Amino acid sequence: MARVAVVHNTLDFQGGADIVCLSVCAALQGEHDVTLYTLSETDPGALAERFDVELARERLNVRRPTGGGTASRTLSAAAPFVGPQLPLRSVLVHRLFERDAEAFDLVVSTANEFAFSLPSVQYVHYPQFHARRLADDSSDALNRLWSRLAGPNRAEIASDSLTTLANSEWTADVVERVYGIRPAVLHPPVDPIDGRWQWEEREDGVVVVGRIAPDKRVLDAIRVVDGVRERGHDVHLHIVGAAPRAYRQYVERVEAAASERAYVAVERDVPRDRIETLLGTHRYGLNLKPEEHFGMSVAEYVAAGMIAFAPDSGGQREILDGRDDRLFASVEEAVERLAHAVETGEQPSQSADRFDSGRFREAIRRTVARALH
């Protein structure tokens, strides 16, 4: 049994990266002593229960910086004005871990790339450092500072002591542009939804699952459903997902827009079984965020036997196999795609178990075993 640290900047935004973090912890608990380093006010066990991740809470050691709860609340409160500051959180957690590094045999990052002082496995959702190397760099001015404090250089990330994984081929392309190496791709875990209704029994409704936040463009989902209804189709919309403190102002705007429409419902921070019920009983899943690094919600729609629609960019193209009838470049195109599916009675054709969690956990265990030897 090895001593393994899992480093994750924060669980407070309750999205796909956090599912990966908790799934990695769960995958390694059976064979190793696992300690999670994070800057979060969110309880890992409670979040694992919401995401239906089988985590042994009593066997997971959790280390936070002194005053980490206060720091998390402060950063979340400031997020509507200055952004979520994920690289800053990464730097703080990195400093905390490095004080204890000698106590571990291996470190696994589930929050992108780092310069660690011992062998590591690093799962990249999107590179967080050295953003200036990208032609379309839109990072804040502090990214260079964070990169110097915790980011690896090209030699470090290419060394034999570091194993890099990416959540999609699209992300792997970006990593290669930044660091000159191409990581192996391991898609995040998304299990088939149990209790799925037959297609003819499902409601003619649209579900949007995930964090209710500006980058997810949830208000655009309401516009899409408005447009489909204007074409004479009696579809309704369920918006269901996490409403972290950092996005409270945007959540209020979404709820206000929904209150003006009898066909739009918003459900915040609901149990996992409620999400699965909605996914398993409705026909259409919609994502509006361009350039999703993978697209957990899109994969969940497929896993639930729905027809999924998403922007024509990012890792979600891989999930939807590049299909023109499922991908769109604007709200107007999204209306066209969804309306056409309703009008023609299209049915889903993709496998629901393509991204199952067993595949993910086994790949993580194999990767860690190789890194330890």
The string of pLDDT tens digits covering residues 274-324 is 999 999 999 999 999 999 999 999 999 999 999 999 999 999 999 999 999
What percent of the chain has a predicted confidence (pLDDT) above 70?
93
Rounded distance, CA 334 to CA 309, Å? 8
Which pLDDT does position 244 carry in this prediction? 78
Nearest to 24 by CA among 368, 295, 364, 371: 364
Which pLDDT does position 82 carry in this prediction? 42
Whether 372 contacts 32, CB under 8 Å: no
C-alpha radius of gyration, the chain, whole number: 20
Would you say residue 172 has pLDDT above 70?
Answer: yes
pTM tops 0.85: yes
Would you say residue 134 has pLDDT above 90?
Answer: no
Which pLDDT does position 247 carry in this prediction? 86
Whether 77 contacts 127, CB under 8 Å: no
Would you say residue 217 has pLDDT above 90?
Answer: yes
Q: Which residues contact 234 (CB under 8 A, 6 or more apart)?
A: 204
What's the CATH number for 199-344?
3.40.50.2000
Domain with residues 3-189+356-372, CATH architecture: 3-Layer(aba) Sandwich (3.40)
Which pLDDT does position 81 carry in this prediction? 41
Higher pLDDT pick, 335 / 80: 335
Identical fold between 3-189+356-372 and 199-344 = yes
Which pLDDT does position 194 carry in this prediction? 87
pLDDT band for position 71 (cuts 50, 70, 90): low
Domain assignments of the chain as residue spans, ordered by start: 3-189+356-372, 199-344
Which pLDDT does position 62 carry in this prediction? 96
Nearest to 301 by CA among 321, 325, 276: 276
The string of pLDDT tens digits covering residues 187-216 is 999 999 988 999 999 999 999 999 999 999
DSSP string, 184-248: EE-PPP-PPPTTPPPGGGSEEEEEEES--SGGGTHHHHHHHHHHHHHTT---EEEEEE---GGGH
